[in-house]
A and B are shown apart, each in its own frame.
Chain A
Amino acid sequence: MNDERKSHMSSIIGETAVVIGNISGQGDLEIRGKVQGSIEIVGRIHVAEGGIILGNVEAGTVTVSGEVRGDLSASDGIVIQASGEVEGNLLAPRVGVEPGARVRGMLRTGSHAVKENTAASPLSLGTALSTAVASPAAVASTAFASPAAFASVPVPSPPVARPAAANPTAASPTSSSVPTDEPIASLAPEKLGKTRKRRRPRKPGLSDNHLSASESVIPEPSGGGQDQKQPAKTRQKGPPKPPTFLKGAKGHQRA
């Protein structure tokens, strides 16, 4: 599936590549090299492990496994993965920070935390949720991504290929384009949602677990009997990384 990632709208800045200047446009972008300048795209950005951005980033969805020194702003959500390091502010309706990530800056979530320039409507999901430090339970409901649009958020742990950008219409990340990405689609939120207790009335977004993200800030002591296991088999790549202590923070649930 990884090979599919190269949809005609996907771009990659390779490992040895260096861009000195600003990047803008549409489509998904994976950064494995260095970018010195700001990035503003309508679509998803993934900073792979080893990737470095020196400058501000603005996109529909931002996931970081590498390093960013600049502000991150997303119209849909931001996830800083365990290997990520961010020195800058985060501004998005939903923000997730995985345990292990290093973040230094201000974090602002909520329905108003949207920089209104991208086409995506921030919260089709119900703004209520947004105070994003989502409870681990949210894992099932997935941090962000309206169900259709982001069925395929890049799998966090491996700086891997984003599944073939199923959504060609990067223009509105939250629009419900057909989520044809298999790997993540198979993680279909619906599927997960059914198996897990859905505490939050959240729409099933991405599936998952890997994105679990959000939790970290307030680890809930109560490890619910929540099956926080992530359906490994459906995972497109690599073993799922269940955040162990993030077991279904029941306590953290918010109505």
Chain B
Amino acid sequence: MADTIIGSELIIDGNLQSEASIRVDGRVMGRVDSQTIVDLGPGSTVLSEVRGQRVNVAGSVAGNVEAKERVDLLAGAKLTGDVRSPRLTIADGANFRGKVDMDVS
């Protein structure tokens, strides 16, 4: 279970950051920043950047996604923004519009 969980009916009008894992099922009108895993559940909405060690996107993101290790866009994901990560997967059914930069050193 993630350390920080934003439930499906919660709205954060601002930025969220944590050293530990974050799971978002609700709405964050700002950045999400973790030093480990960021899990954006289906139905989640993030309206700015997402950063983490690993980022799983199953919801909507309107902002860039940056990960140190990998980014996974799952089915149902809707990303409008760029991805910077050494590894990336885009599942069948994911929706993505942006640039990809995997040359992250």
Contact = CB atoms under 8 A, between A and B. Distances in A.
Residue among B1, B5, B9 having the largest count of chain A Cβ atoms under 10 Å: B9
Interface in A7-26: 8-26
B40 to A, nearest CB: 14
Contacts of B21: 14
A88 to B, nearest CB: 20
Given A17-B22, A21-B30, A10 B5 contact: yes
Contacts of A28: 7
B interface, how many residues as a size bin?
20 to 34
B13 interface: yes
Q: How large is the interface on A (under 10, 10 to 19, 20 to 34, 35 or more residues)?
A: 20 to 34
A25 B10 contact: yes
A35 to B, nearest CB: 9
A8 B17 CA distance: 21
Contacts of A18: 16-18
B26 interface: yes
B20 interface: yes
A19 B22 contact: no
B8 interface: yes
A14 B18 contact: yes
B15 A21 contact: yes
A12 to B, nearest CB: 5
B14 interface: yes
Interface of A: 3, 6, 8-29, 33, 37, 41, 170
